[in-house]
Structure 1
């Protein structure tokens, strides 16, 4: 199913603020409330909209964030999936192309916890290299 221009506008408004009312969205896209409600329901059912989330200000939560780029020899992303699933601090995990096999975003409560997670990664199967990229500031979040 392709999204039309109305669907794209609705999704953009929900990404900006998922708590706004259907009436507000309807006014902004120039459709009726029922049409917007039907479109949102259809996009949810088809998997285009997968959820609604609250985002916290990481700086106010006193947490630290880092991206970890991991290279395996031999490739074994499937083998480490249980390790990824077991760590709630891992917020994103993407298999990617190129010299690096996997990129993880980790948000930890402290630098020492982040270091523990980093040390654990060395014990994962077939890990050849882990590079840590500390997040210094957030410029944009649309997730």
Structure 2
């Protein structure tokens, strides 16, 4: 779908604040409310707009996140798959090539809980080494 300058401006406004009223958008792009409504409907139907989301302030949620690089000896990623399922804070885990066998991403309510997760991981079978990489700042989220 080809986007004209009005569509691009509407998208830009919605990305900045998805709660803007149709009237506010119409005023800012110099179109009628009905024209803006039709354009937004077309953008949604074409899957250019796939949803509206709340953007959370990381400080307000007080969550912390970390990546754990895990090396096993011998390799046993399949064995610990069930153990990872028991830790709801673990959001992603990937077997990777190179010196590290597994990358695990976790989000926890606070540093104390993140430390508990690390201790649980230390108890996994065949863990040779775990390195914790704490997320300091989110630079890109999609």
Equivalent residues of 2:89, 2:108 under 8 A apart: no
TM-score (norm 2): 0.59
Higher Rg of the two aligned structures: 2
**Does structure 1 residue 134 correspond to structure 2 residue 134?**
yes
For residue 34 of structure 1, what is the aligned residue in structure 2?
34
- Taking the aligned partners of 1:37 and 1:130, their CA distance within structure 2 comes to 52
Residue matched to 1:13: 13
CA RMSD of aligned residues (A): 4.1
Relative to 1, partners in 2 of residues 1:10 and 1:55: Cα closer, same or farther, differing over 3 Å? same
Matches within 5 A, 1:109-128: 109-115=109-115
- For structure 2, the residue ranges without an aligned partner over 5 or more in a row are 71-80
Cα pair distance change 1:68/1:24, threshold 3 Å: farther
SS in 2 for 1:23: helix
Q: CA deviation at 1:117?
A: 5.7
Q: What CA deviation, in whole Å up to 9, does each residue of 1:38-65 have, x standing for no partner? A: 1111111111111111122221222112
Residue 15 of structure 1 contacts residue 142 of structure 1 at CA under 8 Å; is this kept in 2? no
Question: Deviation string for 1:19-53 (max 9, x for gaps)?
Answer: 11011101111111111111111111111111111
**1:52 matched to which residue of 2?**
52
State the TM-score, normalizing by the size of structure 1.
0.59
Instruction: State the Cα deviation string for residues 62-117 of structure 1 (Å, max 9, x = none).
Output: 211235689xxxxxxxxx8xx79x95763xx7x9xxx89x9886432123443566
- 1:8 and 1:105 map into 2 onto residues whose CA distance is 34
Tell me how far apart the structure 1 counterparts of residues 40 and 103 of structure 2 sit (CA, whole Å): 31
